């Protein structure tokens, strides 16, 4: 599991508690970057919660997924020497890797819009409800297919975005050291933001629990060419214990093998022939 699954939800939570302070994992380099709070994780250990890799439960709603199809070789590797062709012989009908799809609100009623499904080969296709022509595409949610107006190009990369309405989950427990570096123009601004962040992290939320380990002093930061400090920073250290629920898709249609994919925000995977990398 990528550790951004912990930091990405934690950043907006802290930003809401630190009014006007940017919170992310980007170290400031100029005064325009201030004030900010920089998050990082070290000494991380992960353990799957529960027995083996049995999913923890089934969820329904709208899980956003992305996929990338190699138009020169539009197949899905099912492993064990089996593949599934995703594009019809006339290159107009594309089968999505995860079967039936839903709209962004979790319903499957037509029409779909660009917020519900997208296709892009370097330029976006227009989502329509009727018979598509040219660079238009019409989704059919029940079988999970896209019908294009013109045949897709023989080469290139087609990037897809869509939602599935049901998925399994498994929970991973993550423990480690959370570092919070608060950087601002003045010591007073640093002290105010650091205390607000500590108070927010003192309250368990969103499956994340922290325990304070260290509170370092305010020190100079961002020196100029002459070595004169132009800001101040302070580091707070916490022990972090988090449970992260991850989506697990078995996909529809019975033929497609079990795929582990990331939810929103997600990381795209390539649909290509050959052994997975």
Residue 49 confidence (pLDDT): 54
- The two structure tokens encoding residue 127: 């989502």
Superfamily (CATH H level) for 4-41+174-241? Phage minor tail protein U (3.30.70.1700)
DSSP string for residues in 43-111? EEEEEESSSTT---EEEEEEEEEEEEEETTS-EEEEETTEEEE-B-TTS-EEE-TT---B-TTS--PSP
Q: Rounded to an integer, what distance in angstroms lies between the CA atom of residue 199 and that of residue 108? A: 43
Q: Residues, the chain, total? A: 277
DSSP secondary structure of 185-219: SSHHHHHHHHHHHHHHHTS-BTTEEEEEEEEPPPE
pLDDT at 243: 84
pLDDT of residue 121: 96
Residues 6+ apart with CB under 8 A from 102: 62, 108, 116, 141, 163, 164, 165
| Average pLDDT value for the chain | 85
Write down the pLDDT at residue 250.
58
Query: What is the distance between the alpha carbons of residues 101 and 119, in angstroms, rounded to a whole number?
Result: 14
Which is higher by pLDDT, 277 or 24?
A: 24
Rg (CA), the chain: 23
pLDDT, tens only, 94-108: 999 888 999 999 999
First-residue to last-residue Cα distance in the chain: 16
Residue 8 in tokens: 């990405």
Q: Express each pLDDT in 227-275 by its tens digit.
A: 778 899 999 999 999 987 767 775 443 333 333 343 444 444 444 433 3
Contact 150/134 with Cβ under 8 angstroms?
A: yes
Q: Where are the domains of the chain?
A: 4-41+174-241, 57-169+247-271
pLDDT tens digit string along 53-92?
A: 444 567 788 889 999 999 999 998 877 778 889 999 999 9
104: tokens are: 């962004």
Query: What tokens were used for 106?
Result: 């979790």
For residues 21 and 256, which has the higher predicted lDDT (pLDDT)? 21
Query: If pLDDT is split at 50, 70 and 90, which confidence band does 204 have?
Result: confident
pLDDT score, position 52 = 44
Q: Please give the helix or strand (H or E) that residue 9 lies within, else none.
A: helix 4-17
| Pair of tokens at residue 55 | 């999913």
Q: What is the pLDDT of residue 41?
A: 95
């Amino acid at each position: 599991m990528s550790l951004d699954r912990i930091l990405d939800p934690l950043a907006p939570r802290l930003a809401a508690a630190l009014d006007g302070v940017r919170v992310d994992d980007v170290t400031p380099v100029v005064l325009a970057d201030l004030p900010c709070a920089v998050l990082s994780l070290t000494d991380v250990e992960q353990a799957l919660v529960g027995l083996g890799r049995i999913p923890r439960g089934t969820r329904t709603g709208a899980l956003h997924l992305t996929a990338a199809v190699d138009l020169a070789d539009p197949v899905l590797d099912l492993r064990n020497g089996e593949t599934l062709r995703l594009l019809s012989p006339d290159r107009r009908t594309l089968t999505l890797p995860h079967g039936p799809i839903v709209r962004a609100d979790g319903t499957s009623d037509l029409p779909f819009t660009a917020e519900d499904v997208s296709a892009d080969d370097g330029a976006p296709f227009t989502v329509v409800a009727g018979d598509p022509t040219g660079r238009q595409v019409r989704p059919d949610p029940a079988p999970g297919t896209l019908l294009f107006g013109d045949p897709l190009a023989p080469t290139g990369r087609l990037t897809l975005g869509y939602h599935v309405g049901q998925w399994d989950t498994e929970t991973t427990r993550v423990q480690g050291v959370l570092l919070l570096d608060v950087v601002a123009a003045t010591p007073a601004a640093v002290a105010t933001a650091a205390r607000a962040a500590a108070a927010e992290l003192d309250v368990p939320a969103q499956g994340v629990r922290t325990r304070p380990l260290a509170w370092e002093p305010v020190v100079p930061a961002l020196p100029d060419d002459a070595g004169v400090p132009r800001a101040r920073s302070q580091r707070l250290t916490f022990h972090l214990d988090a449970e992260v629920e991850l989506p697990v898709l078995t996909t529809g249609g019975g033929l497609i093998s079990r795929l582990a994919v990331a939810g929103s925000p997600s990381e795209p995977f390539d649909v290509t022939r050959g052994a997975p990398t």
